Structure 1
Amino acid sequence: MPEGEGVPHLLDLETPAERDALAIRSGIDNQYWLYTRRNPHHAQTLIHNSVKSIWASNYNGAAPTKVIVHGWTGSGNSSMNPLITDAFLAVSDCNVIVVDWNSLASRCYTTAVLGVPDVGEYLGNFLIWLFDIAGGDWNELHLVGFSLGAHVVGNAGRTASGRPGRVTGLDPALPLWCKNPDRLGTDSAVYVEIIHTDGGVLGFMKPIGHVDFYPNGGTNPQPGCWCSTCSHFRAPELFASSVKNNHFVGHRCANLIAASIGYCQGETLQMGNDDMDKRRYGLYGLTTGASWPF
């Protein structure tokens, strides 16, 4: 399993969870870092139940809000966060909230998996409080999560009763999640979109969203990649590029087999981007390049 910056890490899925780490509510250590066009590179920390932290920040309740959540062993400083943050701010005057849950994500994988629902619940309750205190439009809330972070935003969306306008799952983590009832699903938001890039190994292959995209078959190797780690991390890169350029056009696939071999000739739909009005169902395939902007 890759670490926060894509370095492979040997993983034993039978390692006992560190119960001491779960004895307290895991999500209580979440940090929420705000970026806007007024502070695109220097975060302002928003603190749950601290009204002062909100009024002292550049948060704008009238603007769309984007939330980005890293995966296992990642942090708020992981490279995917500025990549996606910069893309959002380039196309929209919005609030971007980067969630740092490294306190739990840095633990062994089995421990992190068990703590994901609580991290997501804390995030969901934070957003409910933030919108109640400072304003916010649920229809303009876009939650983006990578790997384990995809399941975090899934739980956050359910905590908010499925009100977020959109959730994007970036190659949602597969190990220990296949039959896990706490995984990301269509009950997490009005519209749930999945981008599969390492299906069947580190990420899900089967469809779990309203719309599931399978770039280059949705599996390893992605163009320019030679291992599952690279293919897994391609998902946030493709998403960031899609937000900036909106150039990935998927064609609807008849079924999962067609998606996996790239034989998709149906109606078209843009993959990724920041469109909050997307509403569609089904599986979509497309091809990309091997390097930015892909």
Structure 2
Amino acid sequence: MPLEAYLLSCRSLDTMKWAVVALFIAASSASVLKVSPERGYQDGARFFHFPGDGDGIVHLVDLEEPVDVDYVEQYTRNPDNNAYWLFTRANPTVAQILLPNNANSVINSNFNFGRVTVFLAHGWNGNGRNSMSLALTQAFLENGDVNVIVLDWNRLANRNYATAKNGVPAVGRGLGQFINWLVGLGASYDRMHLVGFSLGGHLVGNAGRETGGRVRRITALDPAGPLWTRDNGRIVETDGRYVEVMHTNTGLYGYTDPCGDADFYPNGGSSMPGCWINSCSHSRAHEYMAATVRYNHLLGRECATLRDAQRDRCTGDWNPMGNSDLNKSWPGIFRGNTGRSYPF
């Protein structure tokens, strides 16, 4: 992308400031890795770009920008800093606010203890009203008469990447505690489905872990890759009774290795049809999820290894990818090929 176009794509002064700094350093010193807006995280690099899931624009990350530990501790100490927005078929577009440890906020809402409850968690620079949250809320409500609870953690998610990433485990534990509290009121772990995108993919893993792995299903949509390789807070298969991971931009914005009971690598897991930039491939994960909740039409073929999935050399049986089925239980590595545009 030309310099002028890139600077114009920076929608905040802070983003532009760091863009100018990085480009100046890259141009003036051969010892610093040059960065482009579509280059993902590389081990040892100071600068890399990562897309915010609220605006579709990649943002410059500087790993020498300090983690605001005090802010993370202050934010996560108070569970009221996370907002829980309830949507049902009776209120599909106007949220009802559920307050942790306030039973009346649940009893006086449209929450139905006999229904499936779907939790949605956004990622970095996102919020509860971003395109992912809106599309998945609509898809789940059109597919079934369910409770959808959108977790909004935007005040922490909109800090610098390292700070937001550092706070993910604690925010996830807070969500898990909220789930445990709902179960104490009469909800059931057996009717719960946790769905998270990017940083939110690791967040819902930590939420499931806080429940002792008792939630029925967790779906992580291209969980974030940068800084997570050796982090014990990343999503793992024991976080829920069935953990499904969809990988759409491995090696750049998304996590590469299998980390769930079932790991799907559509189109090989790296570059998605119809996408010319990596941020598009990253976002395809939640777009595929919305499409499969509605149509349950995308399948993955079981693969012997991740390498086979990447090379399209899979010969096993077919397994549905995504969807809303709480009874899924088939583990393994899977690859399926999709179309270029919705519903893929």
TM-score range, shorter chain: over 0.9
CA shift digits 1:46-99 (9 cap, x unpaired): 000111211221000110000000000100011111111111111111100000
| Matching residue of 1:269 | 319
Q: Letter of the 1:54 partner, please give it.
A: V
Q: Is 1:61–1:131's contact at 8 Å kept on the other side of the alignment? A: no
| Matching residue of 1:279 | 329
Of residues 143, 157, 175 in structure 1, which corresponds to 2:208?
Answer: 157
Q: Is 1:13–1:176's contact at 8 Å kept on the other side of the alignment? A: no
Unaligned segments of structure 1, at least 5 residues: none
| Matching residue of 1:233 | 283
CA distance in 1, matches of 2:283, 2:123: 10
Report matched runs for 1:80-229 at 5 Å.
Answer: 80-133=132-185, 135-220=186-271, 222-229=272-279
CA distance in 2, matches of 1:226, 1:261: 20
Report matched runs for 1:61-72 at 5 Å.
Answer: 61-72=113-124
CA distance in 2, matches of 1:291, 1:267: 25
CA distance in 1, matches of 2:208, 2:64: 29
CA displacement at 1:227 relative to structure 2? 1.1
Taking structure 1 as the reference length, the TM-score comes to: 0.97
CA shift digits 1:179-198 (9 cap, x unpaired): 10011011110000000000
CA displacement at 1:14 relative to structure 2? 3.2
Q: Is 2:75–2:156's contact at 8 Å kept on the other side of the alignment? A: no
CA distance in 2, matches of 1:23, 1:190: 30
Q: Is 1:64–1:136's contact at 8 Å kept on the other side of the alignment? A: no
CA shift digits 1:264-292 (9 cap, x unpaired): 12111000011111111110000001111
CA displacement at 1:25 relative to structure 2? 4.3
CA shift digits 1:234-255 (9 cap, x unpaired): 1000000001000001100111
| Matching residue of 2:7 | none
CA distance in 2, matches of 1:36, 1:23: 33
Q: Letter of the 1:188 partner, please give it.
A: D
Unaligned segments of structure 2, at least 5 residues: 1-49
Q: Which has the higher contact order (CA 8 A, sep 6+)?
A: 1
CA distance in 2, matches of 1:98, 1:58: 14
The alignment partner of 2:60 has SS state of coil
| Matching residue of 1:243 | 293
CA distance in 2, matches of 1:15, 1:257: 36
Q: Letter of the 1:232 partner, please give it.
A: H
Of residues 4, 18, 24 in structure 1, which corresponds to 2:68?
Answer: 18
| Number of equivalent positions | 292
CA displacement at 1:11 relative to structure 2? 1.1
Instruction: Tell which deviates more after alignment, 140-149 or 258-267.
Output: 258-267
Q: Letter of the 1:122 partner, please give it.
A: G
The alignment partner of 1:9 has SS state of strand
CA distance in 2, matches of 1:49, 1:107: 27
CA distance in 2, matches of 1:161, 1:179: 22
Give the percent of matched residue pairs that are identical in Structure 1 and Structure 2.
47
Taking structure 2 as the reference length, the TM-score comes to: 0.83
CA shift digits 1:110-154 (9 cap, x unpaired): 001111111001100011111212x21211100000000011101
CA shift digits 1:206-250 (9 cap, x unpaired): 100000001111002x11111111100110000000010000011
CA displacement at 1:5 relative to structure 2? 2.3
Q: Is 2:298–2:321's contact at 8 Å kept on the other side of the alignment? A: yes
Q: Is 2:123 the partner of 1:74?
A: no
| Matching residue of 1:2 | 51
TM-align CA RMSD: 1.0
Q: Is 2:97 the partner of 1:48?
A: no
Structure ID, larger Rg: 2
